[in-house]
Amino acid sequence: MSYCSTAYPKEPTAPTVQTTEIPGPESQKQLAQLSEKFDTRPCYFMCDYEKSNGNYIVDADGNTFLDVYAQIASIALGYNNPDLIKAAQSPEMIRALVDRPALGNFPGKDFDSILAKVLKSAPKGQTHVWSAQSGADANEQAFKAAFVYYRAKERGGFSVDHSNEELETVMENQAPGAPELSVLSFKKAFHGRLFASGSVTCSKPVHKLDFPAFNWPHAEYPYYQYPLDKHEEENKKEDDRCLAIVENLIKTWPAKVAALIIEPVQSEGGDNHASPYFLQSLRDLTTKHNVVYIVDEVQTGVGATGKMWCHEYANITPPPDLVTFSKKFQSAGYWFNDKNFIPQKAYSVFNTWCGNPSAMIIGGTIGEVIQKEDLLTQVNRVGDYLMDKLSKLAEKYPKYLQRLRGKATFIAFDLESGKQRDTLLATLKKNGCNVGGCAEKSVRLRPTLTFEEKHADIFIAALEKSLASL
Amino acid sequence: MSYCSTAYPKEPTAPTVQTTEIPGPESQKQLAQLSEKFDTRPCYFMCDYEKSNGNYIVDADGNTFLDVYAQIASIALGYNNPDLIKAAQSPEMIRALVDRPALGNFPGKDFDSILAKVLKSAPKGQTHVWSAQSGADANEQAFKAAFVYYRAKERGGFSVDHSNEELETVMENQAPGAPELSVLSFKKAFHGRLFASGSVTCSKPVHKLDFPAFNWPHAEYPYYQYPLDKHEEENKKEDDRCLAIVENLIKTWPAKVAALIIEPVQSEGGDNHASPYFLQSLRDLTTKHNVVYIVDEVQTGVGATGKMWCHEYANITPPPDLVTFSKKFQSAGYWFNDKNFIPQKAYSVFNTWCGNPSAMIIGGTIGEVIQKEDLLTQVNRVGDYLMDKLSKLAEKYPKYLQRLRGKATFIAFDLESGKQRDTLLATLKKNGCNVGGCAEKSVRLRPTLTFEEKHADIFIAALEKSLASL
Catalytic residue among A61, A239, A296, A414: A296
Mean pLDDT of the residues in chain A: 97
Which chain A residue has the Cα nearest residue B207? A348
The pLDDT, as a whole number, for residue B126 is 93
Rounded percentage of chain A residues whose pLDDT exceeds 90: 97
Q: Give residue B457's domain range.
A: 3-81+375-468
Give φ, ψ of A314 to 5 degrees.
Answer: -90, -10
Q: Which of B73, B175, B205, B183 lies closest to B139 in space, CA to CA?
A: B183
Q: Is residue B91 part of a domain?
A: no
The pLDDT, as a whole number, for residue B429 is 98
Same domain, yes or no: B387 and B321: no
* Domain-ending residue, one of B305, B327, B355: B355
User: In a 3-state reduction of DSSP, which class is residue A236?
Assistant: helix
Which chain A residue has the Cα nearest residue B60? A109
The pLDDT, as a whole number, for residue A125 is 87
Distance CA A1, CA A273 (A): 34
Q: Is residue B251 part of a domain?
A: yes
The pLDDT, as a whole number, for residue A182 is 98
Inter-chain CB proximity A104 and B351 less than 8 Å: no
Q: Dihedral sign, CA of B76, B79, B80, B82?
A: negative
The pLDDT, as a whole number, for residue A339 is 87
- The 10s digit of each residue's pLDDT in B340-362 is 899 989 999 999 999 999 999 99
Say if the ipTM goes beyond 0.90: yes
* Domain-ending residue, one of B291, B321, B355: B355
Q: Is residue B309 part of a domain?
A: yes
Q: Name chain B contacts of A352, Cβ cutoff 8 Å.
A: 71-72, 74, 134-135, 326-327
CATH number, position A133: 3.40.640.10
Of A151, A193, A196, Cβ closest to residue B351? A193
Of B85, B102, B206, Cβ closest to residue A347? B206
Catalytic residue among A64, A305, A324, A327: A327
Same domain, yes or no: B301 and B164: yes
Q: How many domains does chain A have?
A: 1
CATH number, position B391: 3.90.1150.10
Q: Name chain B contacts of A115, Cβ cutoff 8 Å.
A: 34, 37-38
- The 10s digit of each residue's pLDDT in A395-420 is 999 999 999 999 999 999 999 999 99
The pLDDT, as a whole number, for residue B344 is 87
Residue A61 burial (10 A CB sphere; 0-12, 13-18, 19+):
buried
Interface test with B, best of A211, A350, A434 (most B CBs within 10 A): A211
Mean pLDDT score, A338-346? 90
The pLDDT, as a whole number, for residue B339 is 87
Q: Is residue B366 part of a domain?
A: no
Same domain, yes or no: B331 and B410: no
DSSP secondary structure code for residue A16 in this structure: B
Q: Is residue A361 part of a domain?
A: yes
Contact B200/B139 with Cβ under 8 angstroms? yes
Mean pLDDT score, A208-213? 98
Q: Name chain A contacts of B181, Cβ cutoff 8 Å.
A: 212
Inter-chain CB proximity B44 and A172 less than 8 Å: no
State yes or no: pLDDT of A195 exceeds 90. Answer: yes
- The 10s digit of each residue's pLDDT in B148-186 is 999 999 999 989 999 999 999 999 999 999 999 999 999
Interface test with A, best of B26, B80, B106, B169 (most A CBs within 10 A): B106
State yes or no: pLDDT of A250 exceeds 90. Answer: yes
Of B47, B107, B211, Cβ closest to residue A109? B47
Other C-beta atoms closer than 10 Å to the C-beta of B176 total 18
Same domain, yes or no: B220 and B316: yes
Same domain, yes or no: B454 and B318: no
Inter-chain CB proximity B34 and A115 less than 8 Å: yes
Can you list the residues of chain B whose pLDDT is less than 50?
Answer: none
Q: Name chain A contacts of B342, Cβ cutoff 8 Å.
A: 39
Q: Which of B24, B80, B26, B16 lies closest to B49 in space, CA to CA?
A: B80
Q: Is residue A436 part of a domain?
A: no
User: In a 3-state reduction of DSSP, which class is residue A287?
Assistant: helix
Write the CB contacts of B86 (distance below 8 Å, at least 6 apart in sequence).
Answer: B365
Q: Is residue A363 part of a domain?
A: yes
Q: Is residue A332 part of a domain?
A: yes
Same domain, yes or no: B403 and B464: yes
Q: Clarify whether A190 is annotated catalytic.
A: yes
Same domain, yes or no: B26 and B117: no
- The 10s digit of each residue's pLDDT in A30-82 is 999 999 989 999 999 999 999 999 999 999 999 999 999 999 999 999 999 99
Same domain, yes or no: B33 and B129: no
Q: How far is B51 from chain A (nearest CA, A)?
A: 11
- The 10s digit of each residue's pLDDT in A322-338 is 999 999 999 999 999 98
Same domain, yes or no: B325 and B188: yes
Same domain, yes or no: B12 and B144: no
Which chain A residue has the Cα nearest residue B356? A133
Which chain A residue has the Cα nearest residue B183? A212
Contact B325/B119 with Cβ under 8 angstroms? no
User: In a 3-state reduction of DSSP, which class is residue A344?
Assistant: coil
Same domain, yes or no: B74 and B211: no
- The 10s digit of each residue's pLDDT in B401-450 is 999 999 999 999 999 999 999 999 999 999 999 999 999 999 999 999 99
Same domain, yes or no: B15 and B151: no
CB pairs < 8 Å spanning A and B = 371
Which chain B residue has the Cα nearest residue A193? B351
